[in-house]
Amino acid sequence: MKSNKIFIFWCALFGLIVLITVFANLFSTYPVNEMNMDKVYMAPGDGHILGTDHLGRDVFTRLLHGGKVTLTVAFGSVLLSLVIGVMYGSVSGYVGGWVDSAMMRLLEALISIPSLIFVLAFQAVMQGGMWGMTFIIGVTGWFTTARIVRSEFIRLKEADYVKMARMFGTPIWRIITGHLLRNSVTPLFVVTIFNLAGAVFIEVSLSFLGIGIPPSIPSWGNMLYNAQNDLLIGAWWIGLFPGLLIFFTVLSINFIGEMLKDSRL
């Protein structure tokens, strides 16, 4: 009962964050890139609920629009990694034998290299914007998904109903989608939730390092990157609010994932 309420709380919090960022245009009080050099570094209050930055831009507005960018990158990349992971894991788990062995050795080799290295290498080549980042995080984040799908397929393909399906001449694509994938949805959903938290974290990290989303596009990571110098002159609000939103977003996603995982077990 108590854990149910906690689960609902974290879902509501994450839902609220997604909602206010998706409908950023409705909630924002100023145009996102409107500069006002007469109002630089204004503290929260007096027409700017969360203050302004070094160019006089409204922090609240940029926070909402930045969230839209960060979450779009996160959701887009997770979707891409889900598609790649499911395809790779499906082939490996369903075919089995030496194909599975070869694919798993390759996967282990890829997992052994920190994903940040891949992301940096891709970013050096592509120097992408928002969609470039989505692509990069997506193609480097499917490893765990593939492993989960593969292990579920290996377990499920020996199930009696799958044997029956083979005997009835059900096409392989139907066995994979209708029997195997459909019964792997719960663990797949849990791993995707964790991937989402990871994707938010990677976008924020790269943008904070100045190699993520281009500075012209507001994102939570970019806001943190810009806030580094602002903190030194006492403009704490420029870094604090994006920091808090990132913190609560990642925390809520992780709590949702953990609770889903526990309820499954």
Partner 1 sequence: MLKIEHVAKRYGRGRQRKGVLEDINLSIGKGDLVGLVGESGSGKSTLARLIMRLETMDEGEISFSRSGNFYDSCQIVFQNATAALNPTWTVRASLLEPLRLMKGDREGYIKEMLSLVSLSDVHLDRLPSELSGGERQRVNLLRSILVKPELLICDEIVSSLDRLIQKEIVELLKRLNEEMGMAILFISHDLKVVNYLCDRVYVMKDGRIVEDSVKQDGTFVFSHPYAQRLFE
Question: With 0-12 CB in 10 A as exposed, 13-18 as middle and 19+ as buried, what is 37?
Answer: exposed
Query: 74-106: buried (b, 16+ CB within 10 Å) or exposed (e) per residue?
Result: bebbbbbbbebbbebbbbbbbeeeeebeebbee
Question: Is the CB of 162 or the CB of 200 nearer to partner 1?
Answer: 162
| Alpha-carbon separation of residue 131 from 72, 135, 207 (angstroms) | 9, 6, 14
To partner 1, the closest distance from the beta carbon of 167 in angstroms equals 5
To partner 1, the closest distance from the beta carbon of 220 in angstroms equals 38
Question: Is the CB of 80 or the CB of 180 nearer to partner 1?
Answer: 180
> If residue 216 lies in a helix (H) or strand (E), which one and from where to where?
none
To partner 1, the closest distance from the beta carbon of 242 in angstroms equals 41
To partner 1, the closest distance from the beta carbon of 165 in angstroms equals 6
Question: Is the CB of 165 or the CB of 197 nearer to partner 1?
Answer: 165
The answer to the question of residue 173 lying near partner 1 (CB under 8 A) is no
The answer to the question of residue 106 lying near partner 1 (CB under 8 A) is no
The answer to the question of residue 165 lying near partner 1 (CB under 8 A) is yes
To partner 1, the closest distance from the beta carbon of 189 in angstroms equals 14
Choosing from 151, 170, 205, 254, the residue that interacts with partner 1 (CB under 8 A) is 170
To partner 1, the closest distance from the beta carbon of 104 in angstroms equals 22
To partner 1, the closest distance from the beta carbon of 109 in angstroms equals 29
> DSSP class of residue 168?
T
Choosing from 28, 183, 205, 254, the residue that interacts with partner 1 (CB under 8 A) is 183
Coil, strand, or helix at residue 45? strand
Taking the CA of residue 264 as centre, how many other CA atoms within 13 Å lie in the half-sphere pointing to its CB?
15
Give the integer Cα–Cα distance in Å for 155 and 204: 37
Question: Is the CB of 137 or the CB of 165 nearer to partner 1?
Answer: 165
Choosing from 160, 232, 234, 265, the residue that interacts with partner 1 (CB under 8 A) is 160
Taking a C-beta distance cutoff of 8 angstroms, is the pair 59, 123 a contact?
no
Taking a C-beta distance cutoff of 8 angstroms, is the pair 125, 135 a contact?
no
**Which ranges in the chain belong to alpha helices (H)?**
2-22, 24-27, 59-95, 97-112, 115-126, 130-139, 143-156, 160-167, 172-174, 185-208, 220-232, 237-264
The answer to the question of residue 36 lying near partner 1 (CB under 8 A) is no
The answer to the question of residue 169 lying near partner 1 (CB under 8 A) is yes
Kindly state the number of chain residues that form the binding site for partner 1, as judged by CB under 8 A: 14
Selection from 111, 86, 91 nearest residue 101 by Cα: 91
Taking contact as CB under 8 A, which single stretch among the options 27-35, 134-142, 154-162, 252-260 is the one that binds partner 1? 154-162
- Residues found near partner 1 in the complex (CB under 8 A): 159-161, 163-165, 167-170, 178-179, 182-183
